[in-house]
Chain A
Amino acid sequence: MTNPVEDKPMPPLNRETKPFWDSMKEHNMRLQRCADCGKIRHYPRPVCDSCLSMNSEWVRASGKGTVHSWTVSHHAFHPAFLADLPLTLVTVDLEEGVRICAQMRDVKPDGLSIDMPVKLGYEDATADVTLPVFYPA
C-alpha cells in the first residue's frame, strides 16, 4: 500500500523555482527579488515585471503576514486530501508584499478574519518537499 501523503500532488522540479523549494526544505523560506530594482516577486519567474531585468537574487522571508482571504473545503477534489477534511486554506499577504496560499493550522474556521496576523510554519510532506503552513501569530 502506498503512503497517502506521497500520493498528494507534489511540485515538479523546475529550473526557475528550485531555489524556493530548496529554501523550504531548509525551513528557511526565500523569495525571489529583482537584483536591479529590488522588487520581490512570487511565484518565481524569469523576468521582473517592473523593470524587465532578468537578474534576480533570493532573500529570506520574515515569515510574518496577514490573512487576505480563506476557504474551508469540505469536499476532497483529490482523494489524498480526504483524511484532511475539513481543510482550511488561507491566502496570506506576506510582509514582503507577495502572497502565499497554504493550509492554516490551530484555528477554528470562525476564528479567521481579514488582516489577522499569522506566522509561517513548515511541514515536510516528503523527503524532498516541504510545504508552507500558517499559524495564528
Chain B
Amino acid sequence: MSGLKDKCAVTGIGETEYSRNSGRSVVSMEMEAALKAINDAGLTPNDIDGIIPYGNMEVVAEEFITNLGIEDLRYSAITPLGGASSVAAIQAAVTAIAAGVCNHVLLIVGRNGSSGTCIGARAGEMPQFRIIGEFEMPSGNIAPAQLYAHMARRHMELYGTKSEQLAEIAVSTRANAILNGNAIMTSPMTIEDHQNSRMISDPLRLFDCCLESDGATAIIVSSTERAKDLSQKPIYIMGVGEGHPDSPSAITQRPDMMTLGTAKAAPRAFNMAGIDRNDIDVAEIYDCFTYIVMCQLEDLGFCKKGEGGDFISNGRIALGGELPINTHGGLLSQAHMVGMNHVCELVKQLRGTGGKAQVANAEIGLVTGYGDMGDGAVAIMRN
C-alpha cells in the first residue's frame, strides 16, 4: 500500500463563483473550473490525459475532449461514492498515474444543485438507494437529513452528545466562510442562532444541514516527476483510502449505525502516509451535516467513539484551535461542491494561499469525503 506514497501531487486547482442561481449550464461552469485548474498548473488542455468527472454522469469525459480539444485521453473513470466521490477520485487518479497509465488527471465536480435538481430530495431515484426507496420512503424516511438523524439521535442517547456541541461546528464553519471571499453564507452565526434555527428532523436543525449550491471545482493530480516542472509548488499526496460501511445502502440494517466507511479508510490512509493524527495541521472534513463531521472525527481516530461532542467543543476545531477544520466554510457555509471544494481548500492551505483563513505553518493536512449513506474516503497531503 505504501507504494503509492508521494507518487503524485496536486498541481492545479480551479473554482467558479459559488452561488444559489448560476444562470449558466453545468458544462459551462465545469469548463471554466477545468481551464482555471489547467492554467494554475501551468499546463495546456492537451497535457490532460486522464479525467474523472463527478459520478452523477451529468458532464462526462467526452465533453472535455470536445470542448478543450484533448487529442489523446488515455484514462477516464467515475467514482460512484456520492459525497465521498471527490476524495475517492484522488485514490483512483493516484493508482492510474502510479501504474503508468497517464500523467495528469483532471478531477472535477460541477452542478446546479440549488437552481437545478434539488440534491436532498432525489436520493430514492439512485440505484444504490433502491432498497430505501422500497422499504423506508413509503413510511416517510426519505431525505439524508432524516436518515442521518437516526444516527445522531442514537449518538446523543448513548453518549450524551448535545445539539449545542454540533452547533460549534456550524458556528466555526460560518466564521471561516466569512473570511473566504467566495462563500454563499456570510452572515455571522452564534450558538444561539443555531439553537433557534428551525428543526428539520430532530435532532438536526436547519443550521446542521449543508447548502444546495451552483458552481464547479476542479483539481489536477499529476505524477510527482512531472509536478516538479510545473507552475505551483507540488502538494504531495502522502496517503489515500476509501471505505464502505457494513450494510452500505441501508443505515437501518447497519450493525453499528454510528460507524461510517471512514473508519475503514482512515487506517489505510494514515498507514500509507506514515504519520499520526497529531501530525495533522489542518483538516477539511466533509460536512453534509454537522453530526457527520463529528462522527468522522471519531472514525478518523482523532478521538474515541462517543467522545466527539467534547472533542469539537471549546474552539478546538476553530481557526487558531488545535485542529482547525473546514477553513473555507465547507458545504455548510461556502458551497456544496461534493467536497471538491474541500480538496481545493486543503491545497490552498498547504500552498500557504489560504488568505485570511490561512493556518500558520500548515505542512500536513487531511481531507475527507463522505456520502451514499456511509461511504468514506480520506486523503493526506503535505507541502
Q: A69-B151, A69-B154, A77-B146 are in contact. Are A11 and B138 (CB under 8 A)?
A: yes
Cβ-defined contact, A11 with B157, below 8 A? no
Name the residue of chain B whose CB is nearest to the CB of A71. Answer: B149
B275 at the interface (CB under 8 A from A): no
Which residue in A9, A74, A100, A132 is a CB contact (below 8 Å) of B202? A74
Within the assembled complex, what's the spacing in Å between the Cα atoms of A125 and B138?
9
Q: How far is the CA of A134 from the CA of B128 in the complex (A)?
A: 27
In the complex, per-residue mask of A84-105: 1 if CB is within 8 Å of any chain B CB, else 0: 1001010100000011111100
Q: How far is the CA of A99 from the CA of B250 in the complex (A)?
A: 10
Q: Is the CB–CB distance between A72 and B135 below 8 Å? A: no
Q: Which of B121, B201, B250 contacts A71 (CB 8 A)?
A: B201
* Chain B residues within 8 Å of A, Cβ to Cβ: 120-121, 124, 131, 133-143, 145-146, 149-151, 153-154, 157-158, 198-204, 250, 252-253, 257
Q: Which residues of A contact B143 (CB under 8 A)?
A: 77
Is A108 close to B, CB under 8 A?
no
Asked if A17 and B134 make an inter-chain contact with CB atoms under 8 angstroms apart, the answer reads: yes
Most buried by A among B146, B151, B200, B203: B146
Shortest Cβ gap from A15 to chain B (Å): 12
16 additional A-B pairs beyond A74-B198, A109-B202, A125-B138, beta carbons within 8 Å, are A10-B138, A43-B135, A43-B250, A69-B257, A71-B150, A71-B153, A71-B203, A73-B146, A73-B202, A77-B145, A78-B121, A101-B136, A101-B150, A102-B139, A103-B139, A103-B140
Chain A, 111-133, contact with B by CB distance < 8 Å: what is the 0/1 string? 00110000000000100010111
A131 near B150: Cβ-Cβ < 8 Å: no
Partner of B201, one of A14, A17, A75: A75
Q: A8 — nearest CB in chain B belongs to which residue?
A: B138
A58 on interface, CB distance cutoff 8 Å = no
Total contacts A-B at CB 8 Å: 106
From 1 to 39 in chain A, residues with beta carbon under 8 angstroms from any chain B beta carbon are 8-12, 14, 17
Contact between B145 and A84 (Cβ–Cβ < 8 Å)?
no
Q: Contacts A69-B154, A71-B201; is A100 near B133 (CB within 8 Å)?
A: no
Task: Tell me whether B201 and A11 are in contact (CB under 8 A).
Answer: no
Q: Are A74 and B200 in contact (CB under 8 A)?
A: yes
Assembly CA distance A68 to B252 (angstroms): 9
Docked-complex contact A43 and B154, CB < 8 angstroms? no
Chain A residues with a Cβ under 8 A of chain B: 8-12, 14, 17, 42-43, 68-75, 77-78, 81, 84, 87, 89, 91, 98-103, 109, 113-114, 125, 129, 131-133
- B160 CB to closest chain A CB, in angstroms? 12
23 contacts between A and B (CB under 8 A): A8-B138, A9-B138, A11-B133, A17-B134, A43-B134, A69-B150, A69-B154, A70-B153, A71-B146, A73-B140, A73-B149, A74-B202, A75-B198, A75-B200, A77-B120, A81-B140, A89-B139, A89-B150, A91-B150, A114-B158, A131-B138, A132-B139, A133-B139
Q: In the complex, are the beta carbons of A78 and B142 less than 8 A apart?
A: yes
Taking each of A9, A14, A81, A100, which has the highest tally of chain B beta carbons within 10 Å of its own beta carbon?
A: A9
Chain A residues with Cβ below 8 Å from B124 are: 9
Highest count of chain B CB atoms <10 Å: which of A70, A71, A87, A125 = A71
Cβ–Cβ contact B131 & A74, under 8 A:
no
Nearest residue in A to B154 (C-beta to C-beta)? Answer: A69
User: Which of A12, A70, A91 contacts B134 (CB under 8 A)?
Assistant: A12
The CB with the most chain A CB atoms within 10 A, among B134, B198, B202, B257, is that of B134
Q: What B residues does A73 contact at CB under 8 A?
A: 140, 146, 149, 200-202
**Docked complex Cα distance between A42 and B139 (Å):** 16
CA distance A113 to B158 in the complex (A): 10
- Asked whether A69 lies within 8 Å of B153 as measured between CB atoms, the reply is yes
Q: Kindly identify which residue among A9, A68, A100, A129 contacts B137, using a CB–CB cutoff of 8 Å.
A: A9
The 6 closest A-B pairs by CB, nearest first: A71-B149, A69-B154, A77-B143, A72-B202, A73-B201, A77-B142
Whether the Cβ atoms of A75 and B145 lie closer than 8 Å is yes
State A129–B139 Cα separation when bound (angstroms). 11
Given A77-B146, A89-B139: A43 touches B198 (CB 8 Å cut-off):
no
Q: Are B154 and A114 in contact (CB under 8 A)?
A: yes
Q: How far apart sit A74 and B257, CA to CA, in the bound complex (Å)?
A: 22
Q: How far is the CB of A56 from chain B (nearest CB, A)?
A: 16
* Cα-based distance from A75 to B199 in the complex (angstroms): 8
**Contact A129–B138 (Cβ < 8 Å):** yes
Contact A11/B154 with A74-B200, A99-B253, A109-B202 known, Cβ cut-off 8 Å:
no
Chain B: minimal CB distance from A76 (Å): 8
The complex places the Cα of A103 from the Cα of B137 at a distance, in Å, of 11
